[in-house]
Amino acid sequence: MPRRTIIPFGPQHPVLPEPIHLDLVLDDEKVVEAIPSFGFIHRGLELLCTKKSFQDLVLVAERICGICSFIHGLGYSQGIEKIMDIPVTERAHYLRVFWSELSRIHSHLLWLGLAADAAGFESLFNHCWRIREKILDIIEETTGGRVIFGVCKVGGVRRDVDDDTLKRILGQLKEIEADYNNISEIFIRDYTIRHRFSGVGVLSRDDAHRLGAVGPTCRGSGVNQDQRKLGYAVYNDLDFEPITESEGDSYARCMVRVREVSLSFELIRQAVNKIPDGPVDIKVKGFPEGEFFSRLEQPRGEVVYYVKGNGTKFLSRFRIRTPTFANIPALVHMLAGCDLADVPVIVLSIDPCISCAER
């Protein structure tokens, strides 16, 4: 019988920006089983719904994660707006799409940088984050924040962006996109990147569906599933198709993100060209009573917010199912049978956000 070894992976590891722990059961250099455990940054944020008013809770929702913060706030606000039947204005919806897609670009650029770094390609890492800085500058100019935007609220958005500024930003984004296209070519053609990610952590289409994978993790396996197709905000007015790849390996997941950045530039262009005039928020009266499962597409995949109001200013339940949590079973499946040296790449390939997952 082969001798088995258990190696602890994390919670601190060079490839992990946040703490997650995996017990890797090894047979020689092959991983037989990966046992995940959470809790190092569990903050119990869902419980705050009983202590913060439903209007304040949007600020808590934004702080679930520092990367996809805006979309957290949007998902929560959208759930409350459905319960209270609040007619959010068209302009607010378009601005929400504008900031959501900027969030997606900066999140994917962050991941692409980390992926380049994991492959030992430090100059590419620097270029990804250099471009990301320009996106953060636009976010700062339009919202006042770089990480926590703080612009989404129940009933609309807190800030308007005038049309001249939006047009100017479109010009800036055109330059940024040209810059991005240069580095995306490296991800597509570079031998080192292809060699490091191709064939590593293969997840078949059937497995992706069976294991409940979401976001680029499932789209990299050919599953055409993007919650933006639900048509929330004004995505139903925008022309786009979800990005999919068919190989199901780490490189396919990387390619989905590379192409999704270009799609986000296109969606921003469409949104800015269609944005109507009008107010950006409306006054909210009363308290929420009812329940709704609000579903959106974050950079890492589908996120679900369950909000349940009881007619008071406090909610009786606020539950978030984040994409990283949904991708854990797929991660455990991919790790079984891989080489120990490939574990960091596979873990990185699902773009784990542990702050989100633990809440």
Partner 1 sequence: MFEEQEIICIDKQGLLDKIRSVYMEGYRIVQISCTKENTYQIDYTFDKEYKFLDIRVNIPIEDAKLPSITGIYECAFAYENEIHDLFGIQIDGINLNYQGKFYRINVHAPFNIPVAQQGKPPGDKE
Closer to partner 1 by Cβ: residue 123 or 312: 312
C-alpha span between 158 and 139 (Å, rounded): 14
- Identify residues 64-103 at the interface with partner 1 (CB under 8 A): 78, 82
Q: Does 219 bind partner 1 (CB under 8 A)?
A: no
C-alpha span between 198 and 351 (Å, rounded): 16
Q: 215 near 325, Cβ under 8 Å?
A: no
C-alpha span between 291 and 268 (Å, rounded): 31
Lay out the site mask for partner 1 across 5-34 (x = CB under 8 A, - = otherwise): ----------------x-------------
C-alpha span between 161 and 99 (Å, rounded): 11
Q: Does 44 bind partner 1 (CB under 8 A)?
A: yes
Closer to partner 1 by Cβ: residue 177 or 358: 358
Q: 264 near 256, Cβ under 8 Å?
A: no
Min dist. Cβ of residue 218 to partner 1 (A):
9
For residue 24 the two structure tokens come to: 């890797």
Quick one: which segment of 50-58, 94-102, 111-119, 137-145 binds partner 1 (CB under 8 A)? 50-58
C-alpha span between 325 and 337 (Å, rounded): 21
Closer to partner 1 by Cβ: residue 158 or 209: 209
Please provide the size of the chain in residues: 359
Query: Of 25, 40, 290, 340, which lies in the binding site for partner 1, with binding defined by CB under 8 A?
Result: 40
Which residue shows structure tokens 């979309």? 71
Which residue shows structure tokens 């296209």? 181
Which residue shows structure tokens 């944020």? 45
Q: Does 209 bind partner 1 (CB under 8 A)?
A: yes
Min dist. Cβ of residue 116 to partner 1 (A):
30
CA distance to 111, 227, 272, 290, 295, per residue, from 85 (Å): 37, 21, 26, 11, 17
Q: Does 300 bind partner 1 (CB under 8 A)?
A: no
C-alpha span between 4 and 230 (Å, rounded): 47
For residue 71 the two structure tokens come to: 């979309």
Three-class SS state of 283: coil
Which letter does DSSP use for residue 281 in this model? B
Query: Of 145, 290, 329, 344, which lies in the binding site for partner 1, with binding defined by CB under 8 A?
Result: 329
* Pairing mode of beta strands 21-27, 152-153: unpaired
List the one residue out of 198, 175, 154 whose CA is nearest residue 315.
154
Quick one: which segment of 38-46, 104-112, 158-166, 275-283 binds partner 1 (CB under 8 A)? 38-46
Closer to partner 1 by Cβ: residue 183 or 304: 304
Q: 61 near 75, Cβ under 8 Å?
A: yes
Lay out the site mask for partner 1 across 220-259 (x = CB under 8 A, - = otherwise): -------x-xxxx---x-----------------------
Q: Does 350 bind partner 1 (CB under 8 A)?
A: no
Min dist. Cβ of residue 191 to partner 1 (A):
35
**Residue 243 Cα to chain centre, angstroms:** 15
Min dist. Cβ of residue 216 to partner 1 (A):
16
Q: Does 205 bind partner 1 (CB under 8 A)?
A: no
Q: Does 304 bind partner 1 (CB under 8 A)?
A: yes
Closer to partner 1 by Cβ: residue 269 or 317: 317
- Identify residues 105-144 at the interface with partner 1 (CB under 8 A): none
User: CB 340: neighbour CB atoms within 10 A?
Assistant: 16
Quick one: which segment of 105-113, 143-151, 169-177, 319-327 binds partner 1 (CB under 8 A)? 319-327
Query: Of 278, 293, 336, 337, which lies in the binding site for partner 1, with binding defined by CB under 8 A?
Result: 293
Task: Catalog residues that contact partner 1 under the rule CB under 8 A.
Answer: 21, 35-40, 42, 44, 46-48, 50-52, 78, 82, 209-212, 227, 229-232, 236, 292-293, 295, 302, 304, 306, 308, 316-317, 319, 321, 325-326, 328-330, 332, 358
